[in-house]
Structure 1
């Protein structure tokens, strides 16, 4: 069982997502393209490709197809009928299906790069911070040192803990963040 708060957290954790109210729903968009919404009656609407829609409909018996001009474009399911892990996966799939191709490819590459060795970023910063840094081409502590704390904090996925861990590791190596 999930809630609007869980949906909001899952959606806003993705890059370039905006939240708005639209016709009684809370909608989430990526660069103006709606990928998820919550209705007043507690249902979540997710835009998904056909194959993913069919799989989600089969996995969630209480769900129904989301139609546009009579064609299925996603699914609608009660928030109370879906667990958090499944909701997170569906929100993510929905975001990837609606995000501009270049943005989606950049995010996918950053995620893949975070799983490959090649940089010296400390593991203690966490996967979201590592992905965010890789997404902007920062793979080493030397590259981190070219940025200020506010610049790092502005990256989606980099929080105060990650900046603290990076600062401590930079200090151990005789480096600091830029002014």
Structure 2
């Protein structure tokens, strides 16, 4: 069982995601393209390609296909029927489906643990924190400095130790968290 706050955390941890509303529902978009919304009755509606919809149907029998004007556009499932890990995977798949190709490629590189050129993130923060930061589009200490401690801790994979190490590295550069 998951909640809207868990879905919000999963969606906002992805690069360039904005929260808004769509027909009165809480909705999340990447560069203006909606990828997930939540209806008032607690149904997550995810834009997914057909292959992902088939996998989601097999894993979540309480879900259903979303069809608009005869065309498959995604998958709908009650939040109560999805565990957190599965929800994160569905939200991420929906994001990949709607994100621009270059942005999706940069997140895929971060998922593989491949740093981007020019990244000066300290190695001591660990791989999960590095992946989380790169996945959020933060590849330099200057970009990290524009975030608050709470914003960094909200990223899945970034913990107090990583924030402490980042704060020390920022201080060495004459920078600080927002």
Q: TM-score range by the shorter chain?
A: 0.7 to 0.9
Q: Which residue of 2 aligns with 1:121?
A: 122
Which structure 2 residues correspond to residues 30-49 of structure 1 after superposition, within 5 A?
30-49=30-49
Match in the other structure for 1:141: none
Q: Which consecutive residues of structure 2, in runs of 5 or more, have no partner in the other structure?
A: none
Question: Normalising by structure 2, what TM-score?
Answer: 0.77
Name the structure 1 match of 2:102: 102
Q: TM-score, normalised by structure 1?
A: 0.77
Match of 1:150 among 127, 145, 149: 145
Runs of 4+ in 1 over 4 A off after TM superposition: 133-138, 152-161
RMSD over aligned CA atoms reads 3.2
Aligned to 1:85: 85
**Rg larger in structure:** 1
Q: How many residues align?
A: 166
For the 8 Å contact 1:129–1:159, the answer to whether it is kept is: no
Written as runs of structure 1 = structure 2, the 5 A alignment for 1:1-179 is 1-114=1-114, 121-125=122-126, 127-133=128-134, 138=140, 144=141, 147=142, 150-151=145-146, 157=155, 161-168=161-168, 170=169, 176-179=172-175
CA positional deviation for 1:90: 0.4
Q: Are residues 59 and 121 of structure 1, via their aligned partners in 2, closer, same or farther at CA, if it must alter by over 3 Å?
A: same
Residues 149, 177 of structure 1: 8 Å contact kept: no
SS in 1 for 2:172: coil
